[in-house]
Structures are given as C-alpha cells and as structure tokens.
Amino acid sequence: MVAERLWHTTQAIRKLKPDGSVIEFQADLSGLEEITRWVLSWGSKAKVLGPPELKQRVREELAGMMKND
C-alpha cells in the first residue's frame, strides 16, 4: 500500500523483499512530527529503522498511549 502512493515529493521506496512485502521508505522532511503521526497510523505493520530520534519519538508516543489504558 505504501509503495503504491506518492506520500511526499522527496520519497524513495526500496523493496527489501523481492515480492514487495517489506519496504524501506525514505523522505526528507522539515521535522519528525509529521512522520511520527504517519508511522503510528500504520500500527503494528510499521517498523522504524531510523533515525534514532524517530524511533524514540514513536516509543514515547506508544508508551503514552499505554498509560491512557
């Protein structure tokens, strides 16, 4: 689904598995807020490989969500 749409004008998508079931998505953004929300919208189907700052922000958001339970 991700590879079939233009999400950002600077995006680059690389297939990590030949069948396209695992991809790497890259884009140049002005900040992490936009991509953090986008990653979270994919739920368990997303895995953040980097940068470390994005991984930390996603972890913090998930931890905050768990506290609301």
Q: What is the pLDDT of residues 4-61, one digit of tens each?
A: 888 889 999 999 999 988 888 888 988 899 889 989 999 998 989 889 999 999 999 9
Angle CA(12)–CA(13)–CA(19) in degrees, nearest 5?
Answer: 165
Return the half-sphere exposure (C-beta side, CA atoms, 13 A cut-off) of residue 58.
21
69: pLDDT strictly greater than 80: no
- Tokens encoding 11: 């995006």
Taking the domains of the chain in order of start, what are their residue ranges?
2-67
Sign, Cα dihedral of 10, 51, 35, 31: negative
- Write down the pLDDT at residue 3: 83
Nearest-angstrom CA–CA distance, 20 and 24:
10
